[in-house]
Amino acid sequence: MSETVTVNEPATQGPADEPTATGERADLLEVLATHRRFLRLTTRDLTDEQAGRRTTASQLCLGGLIKHVASVERTWVRFILEGPSAMPDFTALTEADWARRADEFRMLPGETLAGVLADYAEVARRTDELVVALPDLDATQPLPEAPWSEPGGRWSARRVLMHIVAETAQHAGHADIIRESMDGAKTMG
């Protein structure tokens, strides 16, 4: 039997001795936190089975979307720190690689919504810590090999963080449609 998961909001402030973000960094973190919250809210009061259910014509489910967003955020944060070696060469992926990548978008046997949400919270915590501690948001890395990357392109840490915000917001919208198709619940309105 699947257990219903209630989404608890994470604390907005850490212990008093932790550094906090100000200015642009605070703005980036606030916008990202808003879209993360919208994404998590789509799973409120759902069972594992419901989180894995497809409710639209797409292959997407709520648990899978959160897994994907966590994976994307984790990988792009590694990119900020390590450069393109943090990512695969997308031009050389095999069918088996693409099949494993597709598993990000669904709940697999043995996965739970609570586990997916916990992983996402940990990824978010690490990203937030990096944003506060990063010495320079203007530092750039060359983009990885991918059909969608501009040849010779470079992204700054700031650009990567804006990409993470955009990816999270886009998938929060997808999640809202999936949840509304399931039972009429919405994150807003």
SS (H, E, C) the chain: CCCCECCCCCCCCCCCCCCCCCHHHHHHHHHHHHHHHHHHHCCCCECHHHHCCCCCCCCCCHHHHHHHHHHHHHHHHHHHHHHHHHCCCHHHCCHHHHHHHHHHHCCCCCCCHHHHHHHHHHHHHHHHHHHHHCCCCCCEEECCCCCCCCCCCEEEHHHHHHHHHHHHHHHHHHHHHHHHHHHCCCCCC
Q: What pLDDT band is residue 8 in, cutting at 50, 70 and 90?
A: low
Q: What pLDDT band is residue 11 in, cutting at 50, 70 and 90?
A: very low
Q: Which of 88-92, 127-131, 162-166 has the weakest average pLDDT?
A: 88-92
The yes-or-no verdict on residue 16 having pLDDT over 80 is no
Average pLDDT, the chain: 90
Q: What pLDDT band is residue 10 in, cutting at 50, 70 and 90?
A: very low
The yes-or-no verdict on residue 15 having pLDDT over 60 is no
Mean pLDDT for 29-49 is 97
